[in-house]
């Protein structure tokens, strides 16, 4: 048996506020916490005779049924709508942060310091790659930037952006007087080509330094953070992203397993970088690296102690339907001689500076090949994946769009449930109640799906509607011809198939917030990956039978 569990899977009902609710904050709290275990009044003064009150309108009754009147303040779970939780921002190293928007305030550089910095950067931009003085200037800048506080780094970035956004006379000459390849590019592209070649040579100069590549990865992450405020960085950041596509080509990456015997520094990074299911303790990490688990990561030869992306794998007898059973530390070890499924339950990118560099799709295929070597009889590969964009998409649906997504049959079931729940005391208005069912918004549906009803019929209806909406979202909702959900876009782009929607598969706060507790299995059949990818290109993503029946 494994150690006692550190995490517990708790269902967290979430209720949404509404501007239409007129209940005071005390009543709101009472509604949101009502349950069969409701406490008794604390004193006799709390008990009073019933006072006649105006009969709620049909709209108010419908709103109460969908939990609309629970909790007026904040977003999901009563938290701030803007996502700020009072935590200290990314000031780091003593950097000052603007309390109004959480952004760093750039340090003030003296005119003399700015002039010296400009001369240093211009030298890095203009000189040949073999120029030792320019290479030393680049080393000095890299050291200074790495040791600076966040506000000082922003000040340095501001100067870099200003130089990159200048009229470029000096940079044009730099492009023409540089190495042969840069000069050729400048000649073919005029001023724009000269500017581009100077920037590329500038970035290659840093890459040639011993610790230059890790620095550039971190530097691009900062550029992405400040690109909107410093538009002059856009061209430099684009050039660096293009170079990364070559420097981090999958043919250059190395796949290595991560085990409990790996260096402690690497295990600490695994805990810090885990982005799907938080690793809560060393015991939790050890459970994920046990004998019936595997973890693989891509590394770059010049960043041997820094995983770029990693995947966690569990061996189970059946396709996993919930993450809590996979993370249960008390669960017995699986007999590796009898395993039938390999479940990829967490894939985490670790480097924000490598955004847009695609090597995740190669990771799973490489891992499947590795597993085939260790377990020749293993044939079934699937994920247990989150649906991170589901509630955000559902919440913004209008009543008409929601009705179209559910279809007439399911809307009829919703109307029947509304009549049963709300229309018991107003039989003469049942027809109006049924009509109100077609006025339910996506935000109301989210609040309703995130509650825990007592009646089995309502539980079944919630599950039916939730799974149907998730199937529609994954299979039908697109942006520029690609699946709207980022995880679906990743796996379907790899040639996987949407195999099954799992209700109440992730009952953590995060799971309830992003997908009403649902998760999805993407099936990887090595012989079908290319055909499935072609279906996606044709606008018809591959779906399993269980998902097709939900549409």
Domain boundaries, the chain: 111-247, 251-383
Distance, in Å, from the CA atom of 292 to the CA atom of 284, rounded to the nearest integer, reads 14
Question: What is the model's pLDDT at position 213?
Answer: 96
CA 521, chain centre distance (Å): 17
**pLDDT value of position 282:** 95
CA distance 386 to 487: 7
Contact present, 319 and 521 (Cβ < 8 Å): yes
User: Residues 473-498, buried b or exposed e (16+ Cβ, 10 A)?
Assistant: bbbeeeeeeebbbebbbbbbbbbbbb
Nearest to 82 by CA among 90, 94, 93, 74: 74
| Position 528 pLDDT exceeds 60 | yes
**Sequence-ordered list of residues with C-beta below 8 angstroms from that of 110, at least 6 positions apart, any chain:** none
Asked whether the predicted pLDDT for residue 373 surpasses 80, the reply is yes
* Category of 518 on φ-ψ map: left (φ > 0), alpha (ψ -120 to 50) or beta: beta
pLDDT at position 338: 86
Residues 479-502, mean pLDDT to the nearest whole number: 94
Closest CA to 349 of 394, 313, 311, 322: 311
- Tell me how far apart the alpha carbons of residues 142 and 529 are, in angstroms, rounded to a whole number: 43
Instruction: Give me the mean pLDDT over the 364-378 stretch.
Output: 93
Between 64 and 77, where is the model more confident? 64
To the nearest whole number, what is the mean pLDDT of the chain?
Answer: 79
| Residue 354 near residue 336 (C-beta atoms within 8 A) | no
Min mean pLDDT across 91-100, 109-118, 208-217, 225-234 is at: 91-100
Q: Which of 6-10, 176-180, 200-204, 355-359 has the lowest mean pLDDT?
A: 6-10
Which residues contact residue 301 at a Cβ distance below 8 angstroms, ignoring those fewer than 6 apart? 252, 254
**Lowest pLDDT segment from 3-12, 202-211, 221-230, 468-477:** 3-12
CATH number of the domain at 111-247, out of 3.40.50.300, 3.30.1510.10, 1.20.140.90, 3.40.30.10? 1.20.140.90
48 — pLDDT class (breaks 50, 70, 90) = very low
Asked whether residue 522 carries a pLDDT value surpassing 70, the answer given is: yes
Are 375 and 316 in contact by the 8 Å Cβ rule? The answer is no
The residue assigned the tokens 């942006």 is 479
**pLDDT band for position 102 (cuts 50, 70, 90):** low
Alpha helices in 338-429 (DSSP H): 360-374, 390-395, 399-406, 408-422
> Which band of pLDDT confidence, cut at 50, 70 and 90, is reported for residue 88?
very low
pLDDT of 36 higher than 50? no
* Residue 526 scores a pLDDT above 80: yes
β pairing state of 341-349 and 380-383? parallel
When pLDDT is cut at 50, 70 and 90, the band that residue 60 belongs to is: low
Can you read off the two tokens belonging to residue 277? 């299911």
How far is Cα 346 from Cα 110, in angstroms, rounded to an integer? 48
d(CA 361, CA 365): 7
| pLDDT mean over 311-322 | 95
Residue indicated by tokens 């070649």: 197
> What tokens appear for 547 in the block?
């998902």
At 247-287, the pLDDT tens digits run 999 999 999 999 999 999 999 999 999 999 999 999 999 99
- Number of helices followed by number of strands (H, E) in the chain: 23, 9
Q: What is the mean pLDDT of residues 382-393?
A: 96
Question: Is residue 79 scored above 60 in pLDDT?
Answer: no
Please tell me the predicted confidence (pLDDT) of residue 304.
Answer: 93
Among 15-24, 89-98, 118-127, 508-517, which is the least confidently predicted range?
Answer: 15-24
**Percent share of the chain, pLDDT over 70:** 72
CATH of domain 251-383: 3.40.630.150
- Kindly report which listed range (132-146, 442-456, 512-526) carries the lowest average pLDDT score: 442-456
d(CA 414, CA 408): 10
- Asked if 470 and 388 count as a contact pair (C-beta separation under 8 A), the reply is no
Strands in 497-502's sheet, in edge-to-edge order, are: 254-257, 293-299, 309-316, 341-349, 380-383, 519-524, 497-502
Name the least confident of 19-33, 138-152, 440-454. 19-33
Q: How far apart are CA 63 and CA 53, in angstroms?
A: 18
Least confident window among 9-23, 243-257, 309-323, 331-345: 9-23
Does the pLDDT value for residue 34 go beyond 80? no
Question: What pLDDT sits at residue 414?
Answer: 81
């Amino acid at each position: 048996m494994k150690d006692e569990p550190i995490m517990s899977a708790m269902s967290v009902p979430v209720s949404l506020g509404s501007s239409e609710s007129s209940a005071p904050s005390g009543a709101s709290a009472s509604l949101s916490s009502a349950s069969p275990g409701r406490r008794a009044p604390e004193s006799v003064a709390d008990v009073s005779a019933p006072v006649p009150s105006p009969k709620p309108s049909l709209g108010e009754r419908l709103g109460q049924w969908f939990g609309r009147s629970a909790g007026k303040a904040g977003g999901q779970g009563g938290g701030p709508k803007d996502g700020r939780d009072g935590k200290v921002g990314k000031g780091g190293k003593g950097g000052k942060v603007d309390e109004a928007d959480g952004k760093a305030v750039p340090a003030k550089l003296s005119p003399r310091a700015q002039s010296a910095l400009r001369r240093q950067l211009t030298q890095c931009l203009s000189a040949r790659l073999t120029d030792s003085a320019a290479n030393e200037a680049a080393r000095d800048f890299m050291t200074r930037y790495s040791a600076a506080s966040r506000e000082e780094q922003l000040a340095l970035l501001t100067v870099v952006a200003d130089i990159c956004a200048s009229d470029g006379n000096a940079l044009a000459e730099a492009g023409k007087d540089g190495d042969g390849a840069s000069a050729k590019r400048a000649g073919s592209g005029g001023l724009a080509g000269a500017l581009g070649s100077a920037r590329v040579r500038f970035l290659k100069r840093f890459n040639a330094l011993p610790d230059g590549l890790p620095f550039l990865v971190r530097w691009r992450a900062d550029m992405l953070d400040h690109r909107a405020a410093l538009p002059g960085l856009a061209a430099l950041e684009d050039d660096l992203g293009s170079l990364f596509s070559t420097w981090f080509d999958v043919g250059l990456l190395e796949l290595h397993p991560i085990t409990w015997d790996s260096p402690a520094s690497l295990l600490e990074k695994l805990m810090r970088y885990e982005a799907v299911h938080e690793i809560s303790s060393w015991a939790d990490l050890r459970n994920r690296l046990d004998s019936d688990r595997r973890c693989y990561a891509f590394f770059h030869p010049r960043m041997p102690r820094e995983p770029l992306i990693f995947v966690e794998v569990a061996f189970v007898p059946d396709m996993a339907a919930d993450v809590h059973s996979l993370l249960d530390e008390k669960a017995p070890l699986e007999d590796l001689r009898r395993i039938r499924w390999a479940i990829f339950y967490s894939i985490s990118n670790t480097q924000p500076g490598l955004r847009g560099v695609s090597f995740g799709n190669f990771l799973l295929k490489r891992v499947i090949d590795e597993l085939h070597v260790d377990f020749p009889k293993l044939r079934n590969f699937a994920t247990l994946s989150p649906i991170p964009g589901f509630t955000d998409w559902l919440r913004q649906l209008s009543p008409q769009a929601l009705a179209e997504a559910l279809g007439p049959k399911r809307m009829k079931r919703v109307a029947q449930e509304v009549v049963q729940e709300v229309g018991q005391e107003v039989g003469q208005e049942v027809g109006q109640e049924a009509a109100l069912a077609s006025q339910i918004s996506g935000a109301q549906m989210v609040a309703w799906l995130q509650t825990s009803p007592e009646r089995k019929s309502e539980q079944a209806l919630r599950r039916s509607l939730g799974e149907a909406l998730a199937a529609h979202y994954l299979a039908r909702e697109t942006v520029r011809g690609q699946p709207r959900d980022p995880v679906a876009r990743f796996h379907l782009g790899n040639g996987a198939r949407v195999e099954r929607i799992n209700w109440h598969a992730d009952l953590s706060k995060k799971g309830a917030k992003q997908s009403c507790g649902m998760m999805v299995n993407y099936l990887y059949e090595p012989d079908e990956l290319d055909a499935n990818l072609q279906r996606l290109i044709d606008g018809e993503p591959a779906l399993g039978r269980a998902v097709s029946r939900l549409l």
